[in-house]
Amino acid sequence: MTSRLFYGWWIVAAAVLLQFTFLSISQATVSVFLRPVVDELGWQVWQFTLGSSLSVMAGALSGVVVGWIVDRHGPRLPVLAGALATGLCLYGLGRQSSLWLFWALHFCAGLIGWTLFGPLVVNTTLNKWFARRRGWALAIGSTGISLAGLIAPVTMTVAVDSLGWRVGYFVQALFVLAIVVPVAFLMRRAPEEYGLSPDGDDGAARQMRSADPRLRARSGAAETPSYTSRQAVRTQGFWLLLFGYSLNQAALSSVLTHAIPFATDASFSRGTASLALAINGLGNLVSKAVWGYCLQRFPPRRLAVIAFSFGGAGVGLMLLAASFVDPILLFVGFFCYGFGFGGTIPISEYLWVTYFGRAYIGAIRGLSQPLTIIGPTLGPVLVGVGYDLTGAYRPAFLAIIAAYLLAGLLVWMSRAPVVRQG
């Protein structure tokens, strides 16, 4: 059993590295670059944030194809191609001084760059390698997201403030090539191709679990019938999950993009702001053990609502901290926000595969991407427009709290399909 499990957990280790790199360059450090780039090039805030929104939109478009490729051919080639494209795009961002080129490079990075080694590819692979231990695999794999939130803002703030934002982009390009290219060669499509079953089970063990109702109940998602993408879109659960998590992603991306400007506008220093963003990463990291444990024991729908509640409460505490200029409240707010953020990937991926099975989960998740990204594409831009018009972040951050509440309601209303669609 140990030898069979070894390669599956090696995939988890690769997932940690890939998701750490993905978030470090795509979202966690956007606010680090925002003010230096805007001030030097004379752009408006919304113009800068549109770049990251375009990358999210482009990633959703390519996700339709990428998910299908991972289902059929595995993750290795997408991950390798994404690393090379991302390195080139980041190098270009460090050289450019044109708004149109800035937007184009972000679009390309999202379309054929960091999306190809992001959560869609990584979690599709994890879902294929694990069933009974899926909750732990997804939670541990997503610690890369947490570590990125904890480490990347602080390190990149130091790099950008001391070396300049152009060198900062070059540093990111080298980092991607050094980490992602070697990891790409470790990725595999599914355990069945190597004579294994999910969780490292052999055939006898799986037959025993299928025959024993108690063991079958514990395995949960392992017994879920697999729906094709066409069958999935005919179910109510697909659309409720899609819109619920689109709102959640809108809230997450808006806070990440505007975190440092929000804090500095409230009279906190850039050092304090970047530390608060790092504490978000700490909360995210600490939460993984909690979400991993709970996913093995409690309904994921309930856990999703709890995670959204933590996120909304965190944003509320940030607003209080801004009103009183209280750094302790700011840190507590970012910790709560990060704790809720930490449940996003493991809980959402667990929900999707519990509802629709693992055989076609890459295609289903890829198909959901174009609509899922409406929120995270528009959210940061609308927050930027609101700030440019009013000179304050408070109204937009109140809207983010409302988005969390509505997201929780939609996911709570969702249900797994009762009858397989024909």
What does the alpha-carbon distance between residue 129 and residue 137 come to, in Å, rounded to a whole number? Answer: 9
Q: Tens digit of pLDDT for each residue in 321-349?
A: 999 999 999 999 999 999 998 888 889 98
User: Which alpha helices (H) appear in 220-326, and where do they start and end?
Assistant: 229-232, 236-265, 270-295, 300-324
> Please, which pLDDT band fits residue 355 given cuts at 50, 70 and 90?
very high
What does the pLDDT average to over 15-37?
90
Reference 108, options 122, 90, 121; nearest CA is 90
The domain locations on the chain are 2-195+212-413
C-alpha pair distances (Å), 331 with each of 9, 153, 253, 317: 33, 14, 18, 9
Top mean pLDDT of 56-65, 193-202, 298-307 is at: 298-307
pTM above 0.85, yes or no: no
Amino acid in the structure at residue 402: A
C-beta atoms surrounding 122 within 10 Å: 30
317 close to 336: Cβ distance less than 8 angstroms: yes
Q: Tens digit of pLDDT for each residue in 211-263?
A: 444 444 444 444 567 888 889 999 999 999 999 998 998 898 888 888 888 99
C-beta atoms surrounding 181 within 10 Å: 15
What does the alpha-carbon distance between residue 265 and residue 267 come to, in Å, rounded to a whole number? Answer: 5
Q: What is the CATH architecture of 2-195+212-413? A: Up-down Bundle (1.20)
What does the pLDDT average to over 88-106?
95
Greater model confidence, 205 or 404: 404
Taken in order 243, 249, 251, 254, the sign of the CA dihedral is negative
What does the alpha-carbon distance between residue 321 and residue 173 come to, in Å, rounded to a whole number? Answer: 35
pLDDT value of position 235:
93
pLDDT value of position 7:
61
Q: What is the mean pLDDT of the chain?
A: 85
What does the alpha-carbon distance between residue 27 and residue 79 come to, in Å, rounded to a whole number? Answer: 18
pLDDT value of position 208:
45
What does the pLDDT average to over 125-146?
83
pLDDT value of position 62:
87
pLDDT above 70 as % of the chain: 91
Q: Does the structure show a pLDDT above 50 at 421?
A: no
What does the pLDDT average to over 38-55?
89
Taken in order 261, 263, 264, 270, the sign of the CA dihedral is negative
Place of tokens 């055939």: 203
To which H or E segment does residue 367 belong? helix 361-372
275 close to 263: Cβ distance less than 8 angstroms: no
C-beta atoms surrounding 401 within 10 Å: 18
Q: Does the structure show a pLDDT above 60 at 80?
A: yes
> Please, which pLDDT band fits residue 385 given cuts at 50, 70 and 90?
confident
What does the alpha-carbon distance between residue 188 and residue 239 come to, in Å, rounded to a whole number? Answer: 30
CA angle, 152 as apex, 311 and 80 as ends, to 5°?
Answer: 105
Q: Tens digit of pLDDT for each residue in 163-187?
A: 999 999 999 999 999 999 999 988 8
